Amino acid sequence: MTTRCLTLAPVMAALGLATAPAAAEPLRNGGKLLLTNGISSIEGASGGGLTPWATIAGNETRDGIGASAHATIVELKDYDYQSAGISVGLFDRVELSFARQDFNTNEIGGALGLGNDYAFGQDIFGAKVKLAGDLVYDAPLMPAIAVGVQYKKSRNDAVVRLLGATDDDGIDYYLSATKLFLSRSILVNATVRLTKANQNGLLGYGGDRNDDYSVQFEGSMAWQLSRRLAIGGEYRTKPNNLGVAKEDDWFDAFAAYAVNRHLTATVAYADLGSIATIDKQRGVLFSLQAAF
């Protein structure tokens, strides 16, 4: 029995999963195992690249305080995206996060009358609380469950309103459930989001087509390949509020590698569909996260 527990620890670590209280006991002064806090999403919350999970940022256990910082770039066919942020985890229960996003329109900005290299930007302040369950233990089918909120503020007030957005700021609410099925080494996450955001908020909130909150679904799956490496995919549905610029669902295929217990590198192929009237925005996402 002891040998089996030691064998499962790398599996849980590579998938970004929490350890059991018994395993956490000797790690209180050293932090979580590899990847047990997930990676930083583009909005700053811990989880996957496109969507939050029911994980808490930082390397702290239930008896400590941790933190993480990330930098992400996405190179698309016609646009460039960058984000950077920090998150604080409190006792593996509460998460507070901040992320700053910048979306460069390159030459498309000139074609749209905004000027070459015009950049949309926003700041995101987030909070998440783990409510119940465990990623690995507890009842076999009981996932970890977390609820979160994200306040997003555009830094392009006049332009997003000119495009038809009703507001330049807004609040997203989400509920995430995450579980590892150990026998298959597969992690499954489901997130339900209540939002009015246009292109994640970069194009404002609400619009001429719809100014009400809508329910969107975000799903993730990951599979452990080695002690430090996990691969997977994500899918995120999107609202379609602006008449001037349709919005498509997002998906990616990713690989996350734990360089060491403090540094995680993630690379993904991302398809973000139509953005600001330009279709087929596909490219590569690369993210680095440092956690303590």
pTM for this model (two decimals): 0.86
Q: What is the pLDDT of residues 129-150, one digit of tens each?
A: 999 988 777 777 899 999 999 9
Parallel, antiparallel or unpaired: strands 169-181 and 186-195: antiparallel
- Residue pair 150/51 in contact (Cβ under 8 Å)? The answer is no
Query: Which tokens in the block code for residue 18?
Result: 């929490």
Element (H, E) at 9: helix 2-14
Residue 82 pLDDT exceeds 60: yes
Q: Which two tokens stand for residue 82?
A: 């960058």
| pLDDT higher than threshold 80 for residue 19 | no
Q: Is the dihedral of CA 162, 174, 14, 96 positive or negative?
A: positive
Question: Is residue 112's pLDDT more than 60?
Answer: yes
Note the pLDDT tens digit of each residue in 20-71.
333 333 434 446 767 777 899 999 999 999 999 999 999 888 889 999 999 9
Q: What is the pLDDT of residue 33?
A: 67
Alpha carbons 180 and 24: distance in angstroms, whole number? 17
Question: Is residue 117 predicted with pLDDT exceeding 60?
Answer: yes
pLDDT above 90 as % of the chain: 71
Cite the DSSP H helix spans in 43-143.
Answer: 106-111
Domains belonging to the chain, first-starting first, are 2-291 (2.40.160.40)
What was the pLDDT predicted at 224?
Answer: 84
Is the pLDDT assigned to residue 8 strictly greater than 80? no
